[in-house]
Structure 1
Amino acid sequence: MYEFAYNEVVEESRATMRARERAAMDRVIGMLRMAQEKGPLSRERVDALFYLRRLWMIFMDDLKDPNNELPDPLRAGLISIGLWMLKEIDRVRSRVTDDLAPMIEINEIIRDGLK
């Protein structure tokens, strides 16, 4: 009886965490879209890139945690995406590129996988 209740709570917690992660991804995607519209010198771009970096750093810290229950190959793949994201942020900040579309697209794919 207690095991059933515990498993129910754990599953609810996972669903809540996925919902929060999805909401954070929705927010960053919206910020990136607005930043793309406003242009490379906009405050929106600075804010979007800052939030995106913070979000992916949190994700990668969680993925590196030995208690993370995701399968190792999935964790490694997501960490690789996170490293790419950080490099892409640096490329945009240093004006090597102004195109936020690849970051938007990748974040949409990740968000959609959180269902």
Structure 2
Amino acid sequence: MRAFSVERGLRQVGDDGPVLPPEVRYYLAWKPMYDSIKAREEARRQEWDEMWAEAEESRQRAADHAYHMANCRKFGEANGFRVGTRGPIPKRVRDAYRAETGVEL
């Protein structure tokens, strides 16, 4: 109860005086609501952390895909395939790249 009183600003840190009845009433009235607010905030924080982790994974997958697509184009050009600078990469080039590197595009 003292930690709650200090956190809510009802007491100073290190105040070891007796807990008075108004503080007890305040604690009993507000603590359940305070706990539910803290639980909602924690759940929201975890939800946001999960969303940011998913977004980071998605960005990493996109960067890896772009890297391998660029390498596949370079591989195709170096091995005599006709590969454009934009647009889809022909299947035979992707198959040759997969056979060479083991990377699935």
Shorter-chain TM-score above 0.5: no
Instruction: Return the structure number with greater relative CO, CA threshold 8 A, min gap 6.
Output: 1
**TM-score normalized by structure 2?**
0.40
**TM-score normalized by structure 1?**
0.37
